[in-house]
Structure 1
Amino acid sequence: MDYRPEDIRVLKGLEAVRLRPGMYIGSTGKSGLHHLLYEIIDNSMDEVMAGACDRIRVVLHEDGSAEVEDNGRGIPVEIHPETGKSTLETVMTVLHAGGKFSNSAYKVSGGLHGVGASVVNALSEVMEVWVRRNGRIYYQKYSRGQPICEVKELGETTERGTVVRFRPDPEIFSTTEFDPDIIENRLRELAFLNPGLTIEFEDKINDYKSKMSYAGGIKEYVSYIVKNTNSKPLHDIVYISDSYENIKVDIALVYIASQDEETLYSFVNNIRTIDHGTHVSAFRNVLTRLLNDYGKSLGYLRKDEAFLGEDVREGLVAVVSVLMPNPEFEGQTKGRLGSESAGTAVSKIAKERLTEFFEINKPVLKIILERVQQAKRAREAAKKVRELVKRKSAFDGAALPGKLADCVTNDVEKSELFIVEGDSAGGSAKQARDREFQAILPLRGKILNVEKSSIQKLLSNEQIKDIIVAVGTGIGEKFDRTRLRYGKIIIMTDADVDGAHIRVLLLTFFFRYMRPLIEEGRIYIAVAPLYRVQFSNRILYLYSDDEYQALMKELNGSEKVEVQRYKGLGEMNPEQLWETTMNPVTRRLIRVTIENAEEADALFGILMGQDTVERKNFIERHALKVTYLDV
């Protein structure tokens, strides 16, 4: 087929947003739907941070629309010098148009890319905006990103601010029903983070209203979090606040008695960074170093001992909030902060102010050190138990494979075994994993093709034996599912031909000798990214050449792009490996199941990237999604 000039499509205006909404809001499911509302709320919060707003009202209407009202300065409505249109229309219909690119309007803001309001408009069936500014009310209506009318002047007013009402487009979203509990929780966070701000929430569908205002700020927030646990604080809440090079840092923390893992919420310019980032890493590192220093000077540790990060984090409840100009987030959804300057500011302020606090409040310091020491002793005791009591394996009396990095939990349904291609990738995976529930078994090279091997040869093969012992069930007629050690078994290989070959060899082994694991849906394939692309303070991971080509065509040379193509899992650092391939929230998995030939062919397209008559015949014979590759 010819490749012709007319095959090149040029996307205009907001068309790209409707064609690829996931690039801008993360997904077209529930999270993406709520992200629309958060984008509009964030614009109002930027007015709060500019000192121009102290009241926000959010309403869910019966018709499925959401409304956000603030008493800020109001979006300018005058003619914009570059577009020749009203500034209001420009902001609502043009990507990368907003006040966040000029430091004169906003010194600190949550919106960075100038795409928030226009993206919401593009993905809304209907949007309406009222602006109260200069003693007058202005109005404009839109549908799917296009203005339905010119900006109108409706009359006079003594109030000021902006009201935005939008109804998400059912052509885009799988659900258009907002969850009031999720929204109220987000609004409560904002009220805690901004003392002096009043937020009103009304759910007209369920006839519910609430009003939130917290003078105590994040100290009150930490107290609120603790009240929702089944434990009590061990000391008064520690609160520090300071600024460094135009970056304001607020931290509140307390330790509780329960042995729960850390509860830490982090924010940048009021945006919740659910995957944390440089500000949280800096805080954790400083706290761990300080407690180690004090632990040794006050006799809680010997010179050759140390508290680990997990000891320090156990029972910790904390909120870390940073206000800064031009933060660098990884992705439009702003889940993780990448700004090194934020880490520097948090490190300096946390070290100085926590040291100052601990020197003045030695009783609180000793309570914290005793709590961390208790966590350290519990960790060491658990380790000894694990070393003394070997978990049962498929071979009676057989020790677990030496290369296996086992997990802590004994709960089979919560545990995961990653079978990883190569020692290098296995090393990164061991650093990246959550050791509580993720185990790593690295394999070197291609495993035995069990389809062409005898049972004696299979049982004498070291790699096959390691898999059998690690899984724990035995094989063939001696398969015993009650001895299964992991609820999920995840095959993690390179995104290349060799990796696909190894995946199919492993799937062949599981089908021939541990078929119940496939029937129960316990075998998975981890989908590793091919590309890491960075542009405009955004980082995207792409999983195929098609995704990469589509992005390049979409950018069309308009951005400076940095591209890293991964030749294998071993090229990814532990943080990247966790984020893309191992984090249960963000990873992509393929579940291997026994179904029909049509579905089998679809999966093989993913595994091998090509088609063969032999494979088709095998699939049709066995009606499977799995087969093997002859070597």
Structure 2
Amino acid sequence: MEINNIYDESQIQVLEGLEAVRKRPGMYIGSTSIRGLHHLVYEIVDNSIDEAMAGFCKNIDVFIHPDNSITVIDDGRGMPVGMHHKMKIPTVEVIMTVLHAGGKFGGGAYKVSGGLHGVGASVVNALSETCEVEVSVDGEIWKQTFSKGKTTSTLVNIGTTQEHGTKIFFMPDAEIFEEIDFDYETVSQRLRELAFLNKGIRITLTDEREDKKQEFLYEGGIKSFVDYLNRNKGKIHDTIYIEGRKDEYIVEIALQYNDTYTENLFSFANNIDTVEGGTHLVGFKTALTRIVNDYAKKFGFLKENDKNLSGEDVREGLTAVISIKLTDPQFEGQTKTKLGNSEVRGIVDGIVGEAISNVLEENPELGKKIIDKSLNAARARDAAKKARELTRRKSILESTTLPGKLSDCASKDPMECEIYLVEGDSAGGSAKQGRDRKFQAILPLKGKIMNVEKQRIDKMLASLEIRAMITAFGAGIGKDFDVKKIRYDRIIIMTDADVDGAHIRTLLLTFFYRYMKELVEEGHVYVAQPPLYKVTKGKKDHYVYSDLELKNYLLEIGGKDNNTDIQRYKGLGEMDAHQLWDTTMNPEERVLLQVHVEDAMAADEIFTILMGDKVEPRREFIQENAKKVLNLDI
């Protein structure tokens, strides 16, 4: 391509109206994947929530229509329909077509707002094939239509009404998005979250594709949120709720300890999920650690010369939601996932410190439970530290007591390397023979690894299988885990396609998620897909990976005859090295499923249900999801 040397005013391109959004959608909604698609719904709902936070809206209704178009209706004040003083067009049209136009820039319409940049409605409009707005205000209904960010009709009065509020309909543009198929669970999870964070607001979700409807209304707010998050866990006490105000800042915190060994802290600022935390989360952690240590020393649980409990010890088994509402939030990063206001740390610290101190003083039994749990966590941490030292010794890999030894690859470049975690020694033997030694390492695992959901880290580290994986990966574990140090870019779970194989996969994924979370979050974990059948016709072998694929292949070759042999693989051990390479390990031919975590809250819940102590939630989960199973081998 020839590059023009001239750089003057003619080279500067100005994208009119919302063209910039259509040209670079990822800048405004993160991506054009399924995640970006769902972001459209959240942008519109967030505007309704801002009306609710301002005290003008009580009900929000969201509809997913059969064609995956969306309608959001609220009973707020309704978008302004009068002429805009500067733009000389109806204000509703300004909101829908002008980027960075909105009531959140100091006009006094909103004190607290999640939609800070005024891009919400206009971006949704820009990325929609069609968009319609109906506003009910002052006894009249007004309607205007748009397409791909452009106005397609003038604002017209279409009738009278006793209602008030805004109704927005949009059809996402198939030219922009990779797929247009809203996931009910993803939408409902966010709407439930918003209902928890804004007590007393009723949000309904109706999915017309499947005739499903849910209503979210929580008078208990974030206290109900913590009860919900811990509903499948063994609770140690009733949920503690803290509310405090200072100047324009409103701080709400709910917390409850359970009998697990993992912490789950969720922080929000103006309803925005601050997944990277920030000053509000730091203030909470600092106060909690200080107050628990002060209490432990005051009542003799810790002697004068004893080391303080660490924050990690104090938070073991804690579920907490920290929610702050403020007028001028400063978010770090374009994705608005970390709160940066420095003054917030001290405000939250002060409110939490005083409240937790009072709770512990008034409930000595609860104080003792929290201190006992924290002290046990500290002892386990010390034991785990010693066990970790063992895992760092290279000699562990050569130990004759290991059930399966690592067969490493020749390359030392992590980006090139991958490791197969293989179920059983026989399959491990075939994998070792069949692999490409340059970049593929094999670690056979004997039987099922420990269920780490039910064990503290010190007990877990006594498992030879787990220690072998930690040493092989070379990146530490738990708080010490550093994903940058992993020796293999791809960690591939290769198990039999049966119930036991599925159980082993779940055990491994639980271990990774709880103790090496970034492996999963950053897409380093994969599941191999070995074939279910080998179809031999004449001298030609063909491998198929599902019953549906088998059916289609048999139709393709004209059905089964005397010259056709179908072999059903019960396990990896039935394949020789050559077959295993051809079907499951050859990068040119294999099918790998990458493991993703879209939502930390949902992932925590699933692992608790599947691997925790309670049977009833597990039964309900299986009953609800049984219809979604595509391939069941019993």
Band the TM-score falls in, shorter-chain normalisation:
0.5 to 0.7
Fraction of identical pairs, as percent: 44
Aligned-pair CA distance for 1:102: 2.1
Which 5+ residue runs of structure 1 have no aligned equivalent? 399-409, 413-417, 421-474, 491-502, 511-516, 523-581, 597-631
Mapping 1:252-401, distance limit 5 Å: 252-259=254-261, 261-302=262-303, 303-387=305-389, 392-393=394-395, 396=398
Query: For residues 519 and 333 of structure 1, what CA distance do their matches in structure 2 show?
Result: 27
Match of 1:40 in 2: 44
Q: 2:250 aligns with which of 248, 251, 254?
A: 248
**Aligned residue identity for 2:92:** L
Q: Is the 8 A contact 1:13 1:95 kept in 2?
A: yes
Asked if the contact 1:131–1:139 (Cα under 8 Å) also holds between the matched residues in 2, the reply is yes
Counterpart Cα distance in 2 of 1:311 and 1:208: 43
Distance 2:489 2:297 in 1: 52
Aligned counterpart, 2:119: 115
Q: Give 1:171 shift.
A: 1.3
| Secondary structure of residue in 2 paired with 1:215 | coil
Shift of 1:388: 5.3
TM-score (norm 2): 0.64
Amino acid of the structure 1 residue aligned with 2:253:
I
Superposed, which structure 2 residues align to 1:512-523 within 5 Å?
Answer: none
Deviations along 1:334-390, one digit per CA (max 9) or x if unpaired, are: 322222232232112111222222222222222111111121111112223334576
Answer yes or no: is the 8 Å Cα contact 1:112–1:326 preserved in 2. Answer: no
Aligned-partner SS, 1:155: strand
What pairs with 1:74-113 in structure 2 (closer than 5 Å)? 74-113=78-117
CA distance in 2, matches of 1:134, 1:362: 57
Name 2:169's counterpart in structure 1: 165
Checking the alignment, whether the CA contact within 8 Å between 1:519 and 1:594 is kept in structure 2 is no
Contact 2:251 2:325 in 1 (8 A): yes
User: Structure 1 residues 333, 152: closer, same or farther in 2, change over 3 A?
Assistant: farther
Look up the match of 1:472: none
Q: Describe the superposition over 1:51-94 as per-residue Cα deviations: whole angstroms up to 9, x where unpaired.
A: 00111101100121111110000000111111111100101111
Residue in 2 aligned with 1:609?
A: none
Distance 1:589 1:480 in 2: 16
Normalising by structure 1, we get a TM-score of 0.64
Task: Give the 3-state SS of the residue equivalent to 2:307 in structure 1.
Answer: coil
Equivalent AA in structure 1 for residue 14 of structure 2: V
SS at match of 1:101: coil
| Greater Cα offset, 201-210 or 387-396 | 387-396
Relative to structure 1, is the Cα distance of residues 330 and 196 closer, same or farther in structure 2, using a 3 angstrom cutoff? same
The Cα of 1:521 is off from its aligned counterpart by 7.8
Residue identity opposite 2:160 in structure 1: E
2:243 and 2:302 mapped to 1: Cα distance? Answer: 29
Q: Find the aligned partners of 1:487 and 1:390 in 2 and give their Cα distance.
A: 10
1:24–1:333 CA contact under 8 A, matched in 2: no
| Mapped partners of 1:216, 1:331: distance in 2 | 32
1:556-590 CA deviation, whole Å, 9 max, x = no partner? xxxxxxxxxxxxxxxxxxxxxxxxxx955776989
Displacement of 1:487: 6.7
What letter matches 2:210 in structure 1? N
Q: Which runs of 5+ in 2 are unaligned?
A: 407-411, 415-436, 445-467, 476-483, 494-516, 527-584, 589-634
The one-letter code sitting in structure 2 at the alignment partner of 1:59 is: F
Q: Is the 8 Å Cα contact of residues 45 and 72 (structure 2) preserved in structure 1?
A: yes
Q: What is the aligned partner in structure 1 of residue 229 from structure 2?
A: 225
Distance 1:266 1:477, change over 3 A: closer
- Tell me by how many angstroms 1:212 deviates: 1.8
- Cα 1:138–1:299 shift into 2, 3 Å: same
The letter for the 1-side match of 2:270 is N
Matched position secondary structure for 1:102: coil
2:4 paired with 1:2: yes
- Shift in Å, 1:7: 3.7
Cα contact 1:419–1:489 (8 A) shared by 2 = no
Note the alpha carbon deviations across 1:26-55, whole angstroms, 9 max, x for none: 111121111111010000000000100111
* Alignment deviations for residues 526-578 of structure 1 (CA, whole Å, 9 cap, x no partner): xxxxxxxxxxxxxxxxxxxxxxxxxxxxxxxxxxxxxxxxxxxxxxxxxxxxx
Structure 1 residues 479 and 584 mapped into 2: Cα distance closer, same or farther (>3 Å)? closer
Are the aligned partners of 1:218 and 1:252 in contact in 2 as well (CA < 8 Å)?
yes
Deviation at 1:312, TM superposition (A): 1.6
Structure 2: how far apart are the matches of 1:397 and 1:583? 28
Task: State how far apart, in whole Å, the 1-side matches of 2:298 and 2:440 are.
Answer: 57
The Cα of 1:247 is off from its aligned counterpart by 0.4
Structure 1: distance between partners of 2:439 and 2:521: 37
On the 8 A contact 2:70/2:169 being kept in 1, the answer is: yes
> Measured at CA, do residues 15 and 331 of structure 1 come closer, stay the same or move farther in structure 2, by a change above 3 Å?
farther
For residue 53 of structure 2, the aligned residue among 49, 54, 59 is: 49
Secondary structure of the corresponding residue to residue 117 of structure 1 = helix
Superposition RMSD in Å: 3.6
> Are the counterparts in 2 of residues 128 and 164 from structure 1 also a CA contact under 8 Å?
yes
What is the match of residue 146 of structure 2?
142
Instruction: Label 1:489 to 1:217 Cα distance change in 2 as closer, same or farther (>3 A).
Output: same
Once the two structures are TM-superposed, the CA of residue 595 in structure 1 deviates from its matched residue by 7.6
Whether the 8 Å contact between 2:394 and 2:471 is mirrored in structure 1 is: no
Q: Where does residue 17 of structure 1 map in the other structure?
A: 21
Task: Provide the residue aligned with 1:610 in structure 2.
Answer: none
The aligned residue for residue 192 of structure 1 is 196
- Looking at structure 1, the residues matched to 334 and 267 of structure 2 have their Cα atoms a distance apart, in angstroms, of 17
Once the two structures are TM-superposed, the CA of residue 175 in structure 1 deviates from its matched residue by 1.6
In the superposition, relative to structure 1, how do residues 354 and 594 fare at CA in structure 2: closer, same or farther (>3 Å)? same
Give yes or no for contact 2:313–2:374 (8 Å, CA) kept in 1.
yes
Code of the residue aligned with 2:377 in structure 1: it is A
* Structure 2 counterpart of 1:536: none
